[in-house]
Structure 1
Amino acid sequence: MAWLTRFVTAVTFLSIGVVFSPETFGSNSDGQQSPKLSVLIKLAHLLCFSTAWGAALWVTFIGGIIMFKNLPRHQFGNLQSKMFPAYFSMVGVCCAVSVASFGYLHPWKSSSVSERYQLSFLVSAFAFNLSNLLIFTPMTIGMMKERHKIERDENIGEEIGWSKNREAAKANPKLAAMNKKFGMIHGLSSLANIFSFGSLAMHSWYLAGKLNL
């Protein structure tokens, strides 16, 4: 039930923030009534974008590296095979909400050039993430499991960090061929993830320019 406690806590703090926001007490900075729907859509955009950005940053540059350096390689791969579908699903939903909310707030016909660029960045992040979720990740997981079977026959895969795979592949053509296929698909998956992260990074710069701290 720990996840439920965390969820309730997060919702509670969010509710407190809504209750004590200036919009709740009736007026914004120019003395006019703030449109509640617009504020809610902006909140949805901010929360979903920040969730996608934070998750991408952690998984791409921090969490994966820590696990790689501290887990046996097959255990690391099996954990990634469970984590990546959930990661890409969550980021995909967040990107979809960000696209929808930003598109609603900035209709294409009346939006500026910079706003159209930002919508394009968000759509790109969603598309790259979706390609990983539906295409590259399932292929990568399938090939990884096949490679694990071959590696177990070679008594490798339980080492931590750098693999003994390359040495074993020199004497095992089947493993060498699998390595080549796995490397290509895994490379495309990593590239799509980096492009998605980069698109989100471009939007973070735009949002930073809009903040009035």
Structure 2
Amino acid sequence: MCLQGMHHRVSGRLLGGGVIDDEFNVTKSEVEKSLLREAPSESDRVAVEEELYRDMLAGGTQVTRKLFEDIKRLGDKFCQSTTYKILTRTTQPSHAISMLFVSFMLLVLWPNIIGQSKESSGDCARLQPRASVLVSLAYFGSFAMHFGAQMWMTFVSGLALYFNLPRHTFGRIQEILFPKYFSMGTGLSVVTLLAFINLQRAAHPELKTASLHNWDPILLLQLTTLALCAILELTVWLYLAPPMLRLMHLKYNFEARETVGQEIGQFSGTENVQLRRSSPYQNVHKRFRQIHMLTASVNMGSLLCTFVHLHYLASRVELH
């Protein structure tokens, strides 16, 4: 009896253990299934990331748009001011800017224009400060941006738009780009010139007070070409672009009345009978062509100056 009872108790424990193990296994599988259900799949994770990216992109776009709208609003407010009318409808500001430019260049080069004694030059030669990294960055950055803008505007943007857009549309685009292009070119040319002078004086301290005729002819050529480039672009920006754009508006008004201007490419003004007989239109067209050709020639001259300095840089590149 005792043995039989013991046998029943052991069997009960074994059976009970089996039941417990079965229950544990069921519970574990259910937990794993629930965890799998709660864990996001790969597609869900990608969708969440894309949604987050779109939200960030939309937010950045809205901020950028608001910033440009604020800038445009300030620009429109300035265009309605008396100061803007004086700056754009009179020639006195252009003369003032030109005088400031010339005065600034003379101030920078004044020690080299008047020259100093050899003793002073010897004292400066003993001091050999190294040019700042910021000066080098300004020099190479301004020259690279200027050269890139010239190449893009002259040989890519201008030609591509001219041969693919109606003339009036092309003219409206150039009306926006021309002042910005030549003003930016003037500023970058000035920065390149000033940084070049600073770098040369840092590399050769004796040049700080040496007269210009004692400078190396190659350096003088670079100074001349950089200064000429800035002067040419300043001339277009202040004296050629404004009258050219005014003549373009007059020319387009004549053509719009004759429903002309949507053709692509060159238009001489003789294709339309009314325009061919109109003396005011022919005078405006002729004057516009003259200033436009002069502007293109000056632009090519400034590009040639940039190529001269590019050759100077290429001849001094050394790879180690």
TM-score, normalized by the shorter chain, greater than 0.5: yes
Q: Quick one: distance in 1 between partners of 2:219 and 2:242?
A: 34
Match for residue 55 of structure 1 among 149, 153, 162: 149
- Answering whether residue 185 of structure 2 is matched by residue 185 of structure 1, we say no
Q: Which has the larger radius of gyration?
A: 2
Aligned position for 1:173? 279
Counting aligned pairs with the same residue, the percent is 30
The size of the alignment, in residue pairs, is: 183
Aligned position for 1:207? 313
Q: 1:180/1:57 Cα in 2 relative to 1: closer, same or farther (>3 Å)?
A: same
**1:164 Cα offset (Å):** 6.1
SS at the partner of 1:166? coil
Match for residue 177 of structure 2 among 80, 83, 88: 83
Aligned position for 1:21? none
- Answering whether residue 250 of structure 2 is matched by residue 154 of structure 1, we say no
Q: Quick one: distance in 2 between partners of 1:210 and 1:64?
A: 32
- Answering whether residue 136 of structure 2 is matched by residue 42 of structure 1, we say yes
- CA distances 1:4-25 after superposition (whole Å, capped 9, x unpaired): 7xxxxxxxxxxxxxxxxxxxxx
Q: Quick one: distance in 1 between partners of 2:270 and 2:226?
A: 39
Task: Look up the equivalent residue of 2:161 and give its one-letter code.
Answer: M
Say if 1:125 and 1:199, in contact at 8 Å, map to a contact too.
yes
Unpaired segments ≥5 residues, structure 1: 5-33
Q: TM-score, normalised by structure 2?
A: 0.54
**1:62 Cα offset (Å):** 1.4
Task: Look up the equivalent residue of 2:194 and give its one-letter code.
Answer: A
Aligned position for 1:93? 187
**1:170 Cα offset (Å):** 2.3
- CA distances 1:7-63 after superposition (whole Å, capped 9, x unpaired): xxxxxxxxxxxxxxxxxxxxxxxxxxx93x433212211110111111011111111
Q: Quick one: distance in 1 between partners of 2:196 and 2:268?
A: 48
Q: Quick one: distance in 1 between partners of 2:277 and 2:304?
A: 40
- Answering whether residue 161 of structure 2 is matched by residue 64 of structure 1, we say no
- CA distances 1:64-123 after superposition (whole Å, capped 9, x unpaired): 000001111001001000001111111111101001111122246364110111011000
Match for residue 240 of structure 2 among 104, 122, 136: 136
Q: Quick one: distance in 1 between partners of 2:268 and 2:190?
A: 41
Structure 1, 131-140 or 155-164: larger mean CA deviation: 155-164
Say if 1:157 and 1:164, in contact at 8 Å, map to a contact too.
no
Q: Quick one: distance in 1 between partners of 2:158 and 2:165?
A: 10
**1:153 Cα offset (Å):** 1.2
Over the residues paired in the alignment, what is the CA RMSD in angstroms?
Answer: 2.0
**1:174 Cα offset (Å):** 1.7
Unpaired segments ≥5 residues, structure 2: 1-59, 65-128, 202-206
- Answering whether residue 256 of structure 2 is matched by residue 116 of structure 1, we say no
Q: Quick one: distance in 2 between partners of 1:119 and 1:47?
A: 18
SS at the partner of 1:70? coil
Aligned position for 1:20? none
